[in-house]
Amino acid sequence: MSDISAPKGTGPLAKREARLAWSLLFPTIAIVSLVVILPLLAIFWISFKPIGLADLRPVAPVVREDLRNAGDPDQAVRYRLQNRSQDTPIENVIFFDTVPAGATLGELPEVCELSGTALTCTIGTLEPGERLTFLIPVTLEGDLETLEDALEDDTEARATGDADSILTNTEFSLENFARIFDGDEFLTVMWATIFYTVFGTIGALLFGLFAALLLNKSFRGQGILRGLYLFPYVAPVIAVAFTWVNLFDPFSGSANALLVQMGVTTQTINFFGERPLALIMVTVFEIWRYFPLSFLFILARMQSIDTDMYEAADMDGASPFQKFWYLSLPMLLGILSVLFLLRFIWTFNKFDDIFLLTGGNAGTRTLTVNVYEQAFAISNIGAGAAVAVVIFACLLGFSFFFFKFISREEGL
Amino acid sequence: MSFLRYGYITGPIIGAVWIFVLATTVAITMSFATGDPFRPTLWLSLATGAVLGLGAAWELSSRIKAAAIAAVIFVLTLVGFGPMVMETSAFNAVFAAGALAVIGGWSLTKIMEGCPMGALTRHEMEEAWIRFLTGLGYIFFTAIVLVPFYVMVMTSLKSQSALLQNPLDFSLDLDKGWALFRSYQELFADFNFGTYLWTSFYVSVLTVFITLAFSIPGAYAVARLQFKGRAAFSRSILMIYMVPMIVLALPIYIAFSVTGLRNTILGIVLIYPVTTIPVALYMLQGYFRGLPAEVEEAGLMDGLNRLQVIWKITLPLALPALASVSLYVFMIAWNEFLLAFMLLDDPDIFTLTRGIASLNSSEIPREHLMAGAVIATVPVMALFLGLEKFMTKGLTAGSVKG
């Protein structure tokens, strides 16, 4: 008599299901790894390379062709070759041209060969900044101008060559990291990032909680107010950011005019241009723009709290603040901590808002703005990538924390 | 805080702060509406408020109390010795004082309702404070949300020179008629905004469709099918959705420069969905999990294969979720700024946000910039208000993305 037990291992049905699952996931995995994983690897690669914005253009030989002394007996086709790079030699340089009908080339330089109408010249190596000129005598039969056009424009000379690209070679350096960690600037950037992230997150949560408490009762117009309070989040960031810049403009801004009129200040304040006010203002903007999101989540959670509990508390004579402190707040703690961590990460990642409000000036340059500043304003892509690596390392830390402590609680 | 538990202490404190807040609100509103100077008085309004707050704790019929408070505020304000001072036309002055008086009388009585002069129970005291904080909250949030949008719309309708003269004067010269909309007309006629609007629209719609095409099968697999690595996959989706765009934008900029995709609509349409697929997948899988599996199993028993089950059973059931996700993705794509700013240089193929960014120069008058902002905001607001139910559901369903 054999023992009866459940089948072990993976059966054919389970295998089929897994295969189907992977084939459904495949498109997403493919495109996401193409656009997320690959760039991340690229960022690591670039961060170790001394590379500027100008190095993105591949180093290639340039050839130009024209007709010299047109109409004279010693007329000649002139080819000028140049390596425009100042530090990279180009190897295996060859240039090609097609000789138009009606033109006959005279004596060719040694490196050149003519087969039919195709001219091929093998040059070899072009040193950095080197220029070469070739003059080939030519006889023309027919209308001079048409032939000149044909020579110079219709059949353009092409040149090819191999150059060592800084993007693909195996030369590495720690220069970028040394540069970004260097000195006071890094401390300023870190301080701005921490201030912005911590206060932006906490502020948005507190204001969201306050707004949710206001709207957690039904009255006429509740729906309208709820929709209204979501406006800052739904509107395009570029529209609201420019509106804020406009509103707080030191010369024609309404906020300044209002403050002067109310007698709060006698001189106009440059809200987005002064330290440390600019950093406070961008944080206030962040709170203003994202309190709706926390408000929405907290309100949803509040409305799912059982009302029996409050009735029991009423019977026991709890006062409104006691009910909030001892009943509502503990019930909301889960969503508040999840929101805190997620908003913390997203505020840390925020780029557009600060970029549009101050461009990173006046002490508001956070890490993400620094990526842009280094890579595009100073044209040092390598340093920008190094900052991006620092950001990524911080994020890994945050998400470790997130999965360790929070996700279990909320079942994410 | 036990000293607060007397009507003659709580009343004056609430009254003072409340009347000051109301005076500030009415002053700002009237300044923005007329352009004339209105100003709350600090000490005078606090003092008036304290006295009125004390009066509001008096045990009297609330109608009489409200009328009395309103009358006091009205007279004091008009003689220039009240919570608000102003220099404006007689009509505006009467209107402002009247508004302040009516709102003040009604609200202060309401707040102090059931809060008598003498000793208070804890409930009475806390409820008065809660009514006060609620009123404060409504005023505060409504003001901070409305003021920027009001300034945006009004600036777009005024000329820059008029605003430089008096930045507070948002009153419109209605005699101008259609000429009020001059900056809008110029944006469409000279700055190509019609094209930008269309580009933004079809890029966003394409993004929605591509995102759905990728995320529906993925979300279904994560939600319903058993396979090794499911948990890891669903976590890595969440991880990816935390990688900041600026980190990816740099290598994407390089790759697009090298391959020639930079400065093309194709490049934008390729890249936008990738930023939204993880979000959409995450939102959809949550919804799919909530659908009863029995319906799908019945379909399988009746001889449908999995793909048919998805197409004929799951998707029709998930239509509301699909609507939410589509709206949310549309909003992300419509509002997207960073990638459009970095990847597009050619004014012929600008999206709306990129077009507005190009208006931000000292040579172009401010009202054009604001008109551009209004043009970008109105469609997404209209969609949002029209479909608010789907939108809020979509926002809460898993969108913690900023």
Q: What is the ipTM of this complex?
A: 0.91
Token digits of residue B149:
């949008």
State which residue of chain A sits closest to B281, comparing Cα positions.
A28
Do A184 and A157 reside in the same domain of the chain?
Answer: no
Mark which residues 201-230 of A lie under 8 Å from B by CB: 210-211, 213-214, 223, 225-230
pLDDT tens over chain A, length 412 residues: 566 777 677 788 888 888 888 888 888 888 888 888 888 888 888 888 887 777 766 677 788 888 877 777 778 888 888 887 777 778 888 888 888 777 787 777 878 888 878 888 887 887 887 888 888 888 877 777 777 777 777 777 777 777 776 666 767 778 888 887 877 788 889 999 999 999 999 999 999 999 999 988 888 888 888 888 989 998 999 999 999 998 998 888 888 888 888 878 888 888 898 888 999 999 999 999 999 989 988 988 888 888 888 899 989 888 888 889 999 999 888 888 888 888 898 899 899 999 999 988 888 899 999 988 888 888 888 888 889 999 989 888 888 877 776 655 444 4
The range of the structural domain enclosing residue A77 comes to 59-163
| Distance in Å, alpha carbon of A144 to nearest chain B alpha carbon | 38
By CB atoms closer than 10 A (0-12, 13-18, 19+), residue A352 is: buried
State which residue of chain A sits closest to B127, comparing Cα positions.
A320
Token digits of residue B235:
């976590």
Q: Is B157 on the interface with A (CB under 8 A)?
A: no
Do A87 and A196 reside in the same domain of the chain?
Answer: no
Sign of the Cα torsion B275, B277, B280, B282 reads negative
B179 occurs within a structural domain: no
Q: Tell me, what's the pLDDT at A191?
A: 92
Token digits of residue A286:
């962040």
Do A303 and A254 reside in the same domain of the chain?
Answer: yes
Q: Residue B255's closest CA among A395, A36, A119, A359?
A: A36
What region, left, alpha or beta, does residue A92 occupy, with left being phi > 0 and alpha being psi -120 to 50 degrees?
Answer: left
CB B248 to CB A231 under 8 A?
Answer: no
B178 occurs within a structural domain: no
Do A154 and A236 reside in the same domain of the chain?
Answer: no
Let me know: does A161 contact A91? Beta carbons within 8 Å: yes
CB B247 to CB A263 under 8 A?
Answer: no
Q: What is the DSSP letter of B349?
A: G
Token digits of residue A308:
């029996």
Rounded to whole angstroms, how far apart are CA atoms A367 and A374? Answer: 10
Q: Residue A96's closest CA among A145, A63, A57?
A: A63
Mark which residues 362-381 of B lie under 8 Å from A by CB: 366, 369-370, 372-374, 376-377, 380-381
Rounded to whole angstroms, how far apart are CA atoms B47 and B55? Answer: 12
Question: A66 has which bridge partners?
Answer: A78
Rounded to whole angstroms, how far apart are CA atoms A188 and A276? Answer: 11
A265 occurs within a structural domain: yes
Do B97 and B242 reside in the same domain of the chain?
Answer: no
Do B374 and B251 reside in the same domain of the chain?
Answer: yes
Q: How many other β-carbons are positioned within 10 Å of the β-carbon of residue B106?
A: 15
Q: How far is CA B377 from the centre of its chain?
A: 10
Which of B203, B227, B252 best probes binding to A when mutated, by most A CB atoms within 10 angstroms?
Answer: B227
Rounded to whole angstroms, how far apart are CA atoms B218 and B143? Answer: 43
Q: Which of A36, A319, A351 sits opposite B122 (nearest CB)?
A: A319
Domain boundary among B136, B165, B194: B165
Do B159 and B191 reside in the same domain of the chain?
Answer: no
The range of the structural domain enclosing residue B89 comes to 2-165
CB B167 to CB A14 under 8 A?
Answer: no
- Give the three-state DSSP class for A96: strand
Return phi, psi of residue A102, to 5°: 100, -15
Let me know: does B307 contact B352? Beta carbons within 8 Å: no
Cis peptide before A232 (omega within 30 of 0): no
Q: Tell me, what's the pLDDT at B393?
A: 67
Token digits of residue A346:
């997203």
CATH number at residue B235: 1.10.3720.10
Which of A254, A296, A344 best probes binding to B when mutated, by most B CB atoms within 10 angstroms?
Answer: A254
Prediction pTM value: 0.86
* Predicted confidence (pLDDT) at residue B398 exceeds the cutoff of 70: no
Which residues fall within 8 angstroms of residue A312, CB to CB, at 6 or more apart?
none
* Predicted confidence (pLDDT) at residue B308 exceeds the cutoff of 80: yes
Do B123 and B236 reside in the same domain of the chain?
Answer: no
Do A197 and A140 reside in the same domain of the chain?
Answer: no
Q: Which of A14, A20, A412 sits opposite B238 (nearest CB)?
A: A412
Q: Is B187 on the interface with A (CB under 8 A)?
A: no
A304 occurs within a structural domain: yes
B273 occurs within a structural domain: yes
Rounded to whole angstroms, how far apart are CA atoms B284 and B290? Answer: 10
Do B154 and B228 reside in the same domain of the chain?
Answer: no
Do A186 and A294 reside in the same domain of the chain?
Answer: yes
Rounded to whole angstroms, how far apart are CA atoms A371 and A193? Answer: 13
End-to-end CA distance of chain A: 47
Domain boundary among A103, A137, A163: A163
Give contacts of A290 with chain B, Cβ < 8 Å.
402
Which residues fall within 8 angstroms of residue B289, CB to CB, at 6 or more apart?
B223, B224
How does pLDDT run across B76-131, given as a tens digit for each residue?
888 888 888 888 888 888 999 999 999 988 998 888 887 888 788 888 888 889 99
Q: Which of B130, B337, B395 sits opposite A238 (nearest CB)?
A: B337
Let me know: does B49 contact B20? Beta carbons within 8 Å: yes
| Distance in Å, alpha carbon of A150 to nearest chain B alpha carbon | 29
Give contacts of B226 with chain A, Cβ < 8 Å.
14, 17-18, 21
By CB atoms closer than 10 A (0-12, 13-18, 19+), residue A184 is: exposed
Rounded to whole angstroms, how far apart are CA atoms A5 and A266? Answer: 87
Residue A317 CA: distances (Å) to CA of A311, A321, A378: 10, 12, 65
Q: Which of B123, B214, B230 sits opposite A31 (nearest CB)?
A: B214
Rounded to whole angstroms, how far apart are CA atoms B71 and B383? Answer: 45
Do B239 and B156 reside in the same domain of the chain?
Answer: no
Do A220 and A115 reside in the same domain of the chain?
Answer: no
Task: Give one DSSP letter per residue of A153-188, joined into a string.
Answer: IIS--EEEEEE--TTTS----SHHHHHHTSHHHHHH
Look over chain A and give the mean of its residue pLDDT values, rounded to a whole number.
84
Q: Tell me, what's the pLDDT at B394?
A: 63
CB A403 to CB B353 under 8 A?
Answer: no
Q: Is A356 on the interface with B (CB under 8 A)?
A: yes
Do B60 and B33 reside in the same domain of the chain?
Answer: yes
* Predicted confidence (pLDDT) at residue B12 exceeds the cutoff of 80: yes
B157 occurs within a structural domain: yes
Residue A344 CA: distances (Å) to CA of A228, A351, B338: 25, 14, 20
Q: Residue B258's closest CA among A159, A46, A157?
A: A46
Q: What is the count of structural domains for chain B?
A: 2
Give contacts of B245 with chain A, Cβ < 8 Å.
349, 351
Do A143 and A215 reside in the same domain of the chain?
Answer: no
Do B200 and B341 reside in the same domain of the chain?
Answer: yes
Do B245 and B120 reside in the same domain of the chain?
Answer: no
Give contacts of B337 with chain A, Cβ < 8 Å.
236-238, 352, 356
Q: Is B303 on the interface with A (CB under 8 A)?
A: no
Give contacts of B134 with chain A, Cβ < 8 Å.
214
Q: Around B118, how many Cα atoms within 13 Å sit in the side-chain half-sphere?
A: 1
Which of B129, B247, B271 best probes binding to A when mutated, by most A CB atoms within 10 angstroms?
Answer: B247
Q: Tell me, what's the pLDDT at A142?
A: 75
Q: How many other β-carbons are positioned within 10 Å of the β-carbon of residue A192?
A: 25
Token digits of residue B392:
């809020």
Q: How far is CA A376 from the centre of its chain?
A: 11
Q: Is B266 on the interface with A (CB under 8 A)?
A: no
Q: Tell me, what's the pLDDT at B400?
A: 44
Give contacts of B364 with chain A, Cβ < 8 Å.
none
Q: Tell me, what's the pLDDT at B149?
A: 93
Q: Is B308 on the interface with A (CB under 8 A)?
A: no
Provide the percentage of residues in chain B whose pLDDT is more than 70.
Answer: 97
State which residue of chain A sits closest to B257, comparing Cα positions.
A56
| Distance in Å, alpha carbon of B316 to nearest chain A alpha carbon | 19
CB B248 to CB A40 under 8 A?
Answer: yes
Do B309 and B254 reside in the same domain of the chain?
Answer: yes
Q: Which of A40, A236, A293 sits opposite B380 (nearest CB)?
A: A236
Domain boundary among A163, A195, A227: A163
A46 occurs within a structural domain: no
CB B376 to CB A319 under 8 A?
Answer: no
How does pLDDT run across B246-290, given as a tens digit for each residue?
888 888 888 888 788 888 899 899 889 988 888 888 888 888 888
Which residues fall within 8 angstroms of residue B233, CB to CB, at 6 or more apart?
A25, B222
B174 occurs within a structural domain: no
E strand or H helix at B306, and its extent? helix B306-309
Q: Is B300 on the interface with A (CB under 8 A)?
A: no
Rounded to whole angstroms, how far apart are CA atoms B230 and B223? Answer: 9
Let me know: does B239 contact A32? Beta carbons within 8 Å: no
A296 occurs within a structural domain: yes
Rounded to whole angstroms, how far apart are CA atoms B365 and B162? Answer: 12
Domain boundary among A136, A163, A190: A163
Pairs of residues, one from chain A and one from chain B, whose beta carbons lie less than 8 Å apart: 276
| Distance in Å, alpha carbon of B354 to nearest chain A alpha carbon | 9
Let me know: does B33 contact B89? Beta carbons within 8 Å: no
Do A335 and A381 reside in the same domain of the chain?
Answer: yes
A109 occurs within a structural domain: yes
A310 occurs within a structural domain: yes
Which residues fall within 8 angstroms of residue B304, CB to CB, at 6 or more apart?
B312, B313
Do A210 and A316 reside in the same domain of the chain?
Answer: yes
B317 occurs within a structural domain: yes
Rounded to whole angstroms, how far apart are CA atoms B75 and B59? Answer: 23
A184-190 long-range Cβ contacts below 8 angstroms, 24+ apart: A188/A363, A188/A365, A189/A365, A189/A366, A189/A367, A189/A370, A190/A367
Maximum CA extent, chain A: 115
Q: Residue A121's closest CA among A108, A132, A111?
A: A111
Q: Tell me, what's the pLDDT at A279?
A: 94
Rounded to whole angstroms, how far apart are CA atoms B171 and B168? Answer: 9
Domain boundary among B165, B198, B224: B165
What burial letters (b/e) apply to B333-367, b meaning 16+ CB within 10 Å?
Answer: bbbbbbbbbbbbeeeebbbbbbbbbbbbeeebbbb
Alpha helices in A38-89 (DSSP H): 38-47
CATH number at residue A156: 2.60.40.290
Helix B265-290 and helix B245-259, axial crossing angle in degrees, nearest 10: 140
Q: Which of B39, B145, B273 sits opposite A261 (nearest CB)?
A: B39
- Give the three-state DSSP class for A360: coil
Give contacts of B379 with chain A, Cβ < 8 Å.
none
Which of A10, A13, A17, A25 best probes binding to B when mutated, by most B CB atoms within 10 angstroms?
Answer: A25
Token digits of residue B76:
């004091």
Rounded to whole angstroms, how far apart are CA atoms A247 and B140? Answer: 17
Q: What is the DSSP letter of B88?
A: S
CB A371 to CB B250 under 8 A?
Answer: yes
Give contacts of A262 with chain B, Cβ < 8 Å.
24, 27, 39-40
CATH number at residue A403: 1.10.3720.10
Do B290 and B344 reside in the same domain of the chain?
Answer: yes
Q: Tell me, what's the pLDDT at A408?
A: 54
End-to-end CA distance of chain B: 40
B161 occurs within a structural domain: yes
| Distance in Å, alpha carbon of A118 to nearest chain B alpha carbon | 30
E strand or H helix at A68, and its extent? strand A61-68
Let me know: does B352 contact B346? Beta carbons within 8 Å: no
B177 occurs within a structural domain: no
Which residues fall within 8 angstroms of residue A170, CB to CB, at 6 or more apart?
none
CB B164 to CB A262 under 8 A?
Answer: no
Do A157 and A239 reside in the same domain of the chain?
Answer: no
Rounded to whole angstroms, how far apart are CA atoms A250 and A269? Answer: 6
Q: What is the count of structural domains for chain A?
A: 2
Do B196 and B156 reside in the same domain of the chain?
Answer: no
How does pLDDT run across B203-258, given as a tens digit for each residue?
999 999 999 999 999 999 988 888 888 888 877 877 787 788 888 888 888 888 87
Do A251 and A114 reside in the same domain of the chain?
Answer: no
